[in-house]
Amino acid sequence: MLLNMNNLESYNIAQRKGLKQSNFLVWTGIRQAIPPDLKRSEFNENELNSLEFQFGEKRFNPLTSE
């Protein structure tokens, strides 16, 4: 979700990486729905290959809307 960037920058990058069937307002809403403690979590960027993230047992992939 590229939480270290602002909404517009992250949306543009997500589109370049293949985000489809979404718009800026939906993207911003999804980012705002992420709890603040998860936004501050540190991730190993070497392990990130997509915009997918996991919380507990649930996975979210904005590219496939799952």
Q: Is residue 66 part of a domain?
A: no
How far is Cα 58 from Cα 24, in angstroms, rounded to an integer? 24
pLDDT of res. 42: 67
In tens, the pLDDT along 3-54 reads 888 999 999 998 998 888 889 999 999 888 888 877 776 665 555 555 677 7
Give the number of domains in the chain.
1
Q: Is residue 1 part of a domain?
A: no
Domain that holds residue 53: 7-60
pLDDT of res. 30: 87
Q: Which of 13, 7, 39, 2 is nearest to 26 (CA)?
A: 7
pLDDT of res. 43: 60
Mutual angle of helices 24-33 and 7-16, in 10-degree steps: 110
How far is Cα 23 from Cα 36, in angstroms, rounded to an integer? 22
Q: Is residue 21 part of a domain?
A: yes
pLDDT of res. 63: 65
Length in residues, the chain? 66
pLDDT of res. 9: 94
Q: Within 13 Å of residue 41, how many CA atoms lie on the same side as its CB?
A: 14
pLDDT of res. 40: 74
Q: Is residue 22 part of a domain?
A: yes
